[in-house]
Structure 1
Amino acid sequence: MKKQLKVEAIEHGTVIDHISSGQGIKILRFFALSEGNKRITIGLNLPTYAGENKDLIKIENTVFSQQQANQLALFAPNATINLIENFEVVNKFKLALPEQIAGVLLCPNSNCISHNEPVDSRFNIKQEQAGVKLKCHYCEKSFTATSFKELH
């Protein structure tokens, strides 16, 4: 007999599902989700019906905006966002990579002009076979989403 593990339901908030295995912790850090007193449930390396593994994050009393969802797509382009009200899914959407992101990330290149001038960082985003690439508008260097450790 196969055991089925269940994750506690949330009354109001956001569920980020179908995160590529290993990306859940990076998403928690990037969005600083563990700061504050929100209840968060994290599932790492959970089995899927397809026989693969995935990560899952449930954040109570937090609703992701479309802008946050698009930023999330940098780390988990195949993830699904479920908005929960009264323990029910009221909206479910797939993520879409934005073509450009501005004022959110710090350029990993310490010599980039965006570190020393009063300009917002700006990156052009491209989905490649190897993953998501971000190209700095100013220094024109390319980076993967995992290269970014800091928010702007």
Structure 2
Amino acid sequence: MVTRTRFDDSECPVARSVDAIGDWWSLLIVRDAFDGSRRFGEFQRSLGVAKNILTTRLRTLVAGGVLESVPASDGSAYREYVLTPKGQALFPVIVALRQWGEQHFFAPDEPHSQLVDRRQGHRLRPLEVRSADGRRLNPDDTTVHKIPTH
């Protein structure tokens, strides 16, 4: 079996983030949690993933502080998975992936799901990266600076 490369001690925030999320199943679990899924069976029905894979991904997300396993809200013996504040902070990541997918992987007239503002029912504006003074930034407008250790 091939051992997965770990990046949890990398100096790169992107590498550490990818390490924490793990893989596409984990991101889709987080997406489903934002869409209201809470129980193992709900995630499994939505994703069509094998039970052993889903179990492993849920455990990893709980261990990483992205999800929390809590008693079922209906008082039954089941457990539910809810997003922690750390998990909630992934919302812009999920929105960015959704918007990127809508822009690059669907024909203009091809049906797909849309994320809308619950209050007004309108599609969200595209996410933008902005400078501290509000200017819209592109990749050429940024550079990575290493933060020295003290």
TM-score range relative to shorter protein: under 0.3
TM-score by length of 2: 0.23
Structure with max Cα Rg: 2
Counting strand residues as a fraction of each chain, which structure ranks higher?
A: 1
Q: Which is bigger in relative contact order (C-alpha 8 A, separation at least 6)?
A: 1
Counting helix residues as a fraction of each chain, which structure ranks higher?
A: 2
TM-score by length of 1: 0.23
